Amino acid sequence: MSEDKTDRKGFFARLTQGLTKSTTRVSDGISGIFTKAKLDENTLQDLEDLLITSDLGAETAAEVTTALAKDRFDKEVTAADVKTALAEIVATKLEPIAKPLVLDADAKPHVILMVGVNGTGKTTTIGKLAHQFKTDGKRVVLAAGDTFRAAAVEQLKIWGTRTGCDVIAGDVGADAAGLAYDALAKAKADNADVLLIDTAGRLQNRRELMDELAKIVRVIKKLDPAAPHSVLLVLDATTGQNALGQADAFTEIAGVTGLVMTKLDGTARGGILVALAARTGLPIHAIGIGEAIDDLRPFAADEFAKALVGAQMS
């Protein structure tokens, strides 16, 4: 698509570009609040509200403002001070979970299972991940495990062509677990380095669908007890507090090992990550900032935090 035309900007520039739109509001908000200069109860309440509008959630927002108020309450503060302080607090919370996805070199293949609710961007993320692994010289196989949604298989096949990866697909309506099993057998036979398995989107409160996911994991283990080596939960940045429930449910059923957050190129701020960090401690491996093939970036805590509160722009 258009990735060739886009300048190869650094990570921070790209992220900022994506997040700038999202941050303007928080940033403006903070600047707006702090024309008052003194950090008092009302100001804190306003600040807490602002964080809530970034999807941090009521609890996390309260935590962050409390931390902010600790040494500064009733003191004169500037907007810049508050932004920096806020970014630091957020970054501290995110730092422990900013871990790139590392492939197990001994695993042949390293099996990655993509899970999540409908429409978060699992298939697109697989395409982007496949591109990255391929660029690193890995032998990559894709499995079209979404046998439910119309044309999901075709969609993955197109990504296979774009990235030059083999795609293993079955019939629509076929048993996804069976397909995953076949794909792993094939990937093993082909001596592949990475197998990326797509799954149908499912709401985490639909028990029968979650059972089906559990079955996929179970079946994969028959061929390789260590697999899936990574189970990535794909979260849509626009999702609100429901993401917490998604993380819990998918971890329980499929043993999520890490997160990918997509659609950070909109106005959604992904503040839910801060709440998730505290609650689950799951590492966040990558973020999606566009539809192009290279629009997947590693997650960097302090840069994300700065971008989130708008600290780099004053």
Partner 1 sequence: MFDTLSDRLGKVFDGLRGRGALTDSDVVEALREVRVALLEADVALPVAKDFIERVRVKAVGQDVVRSVTPGQQVVKIVHDELVETLGRDPAPLNVDHAPPAIIMMVGLQGSGKTTTTAKIAKRLQDRQKKKVLMASLDTRRPAAMEQLKILGEQVSVATLPIIEGQNPVSIAARAIEAARLGGFDVLILDTAGRTHVDEALMHEVGEIYNAASPSETLLVVDSLTGQDAVNVAQSFGGRLDISGVVLTRIDGDGRGGAALSMRAVTGKPIKLLGVGEKMDALEDFHPERIAGRILGMGDVVSLVEKAADTIDQAQAEKIAKKMRKGEFDLDDLAEQLRQMKRMGGIQGLMGMLPGMGKMGKQIQHANIDEDVFKHQEAIISSMTKKERRDPKLLNASRKRRVAAGSGTAVPEINKLLKMHRQMADMMKKVGKGGMKQMFGDPGAQLDEMPAGELPSAAPGLPGQPPGMGAGVPPGMGLPGLGMPGMPGPRGGSKKKRKK
Binding-site ranges for partner 1 (CB under 8 A)? 1, 21, 25, 49, 52-55, 57-58, 117-121, 124, 127, 148-152, 154-155, 157-159, 172, 203-208, 236-243, 245, 263, 265-269, 272, 291
| CA 264/CA 136 separation, integer angstroms | 25
Element at 299 (helix H, strand E):
none
Facing residues of 60 across strands?
none
Distance in Å, CB of 171 to partner 1, minimum: 13
**DSSP letters of 51-102?**
HHHTT--HHHHHHHHHHHHTTTTTSB--HHHHHHHHHHHHHHHHGGGB----
Q: Return all residues near 154 (Cβ < 8 A) that are at least 6 apart.
A: none
| CA 273/CA 270 separation, integer angstroms | 6
Nearer to partner 1 (CB atom), residue 193 or residue 295: 295
| CA 73/CA 199 separation, integer angstroms | 49
Distance in Å, CB of 103 to partner 1, minimum: 25
Nearer to partner 1 (CB atom), residue 124 or residue 230: 124
Nearer to partner 1 (CB atom), residue 172 or residue 223: 172
Distance in Å, CB of 156 to partner 1, minimum: 8
Q: Return all residues near 227 (Cβ < 8 A) that are at least 6 apart.
A: 107, 111, 184, 220, 221
CB-based contact 270:261 (threshold 8 Å):
yes
Tell me the C-alpha to C-alpha distance, in Å, between residue 1 and each of 7, 32, 272, 294.
14, 40, 30, 10
CB-based contact 250:233 (threshold 8 Å):
yes
Distance in Å, CB of 309 to partner 1, minimum: 15
Distance in Å, CB of 132 to partner 1, minimum: 18
Nearer to partner 1 (CB atom), residue 78 or residue 161: 161
Distance in Å, CB of 102 to partner 1, minimum: 28
Distance in Å, CB of 273 to partner 1, minimum: 12
Nearer to partner 1 (CB atom), residue 16 or residue 54: 54
Nearer to partner 1 (CB atom), residue 114 or residue 268: 268
Facing residues of 38 across strands?
76
Tell me the C-alpha to C-alpha distance, in Å, between residue 141 and each of 57, 102, 126, 159.
38, 17, 11, 11
Nearer to partner 1 (CB atom), residue 206 or residue 218: 206
Nearer to partner 1 (CB atom), residue 32 or residue 96: 32
Distance in Å, CB of 127 to partner 1, minimum: 8
| CA 37/CA 216 separation, integer angstroms | 56
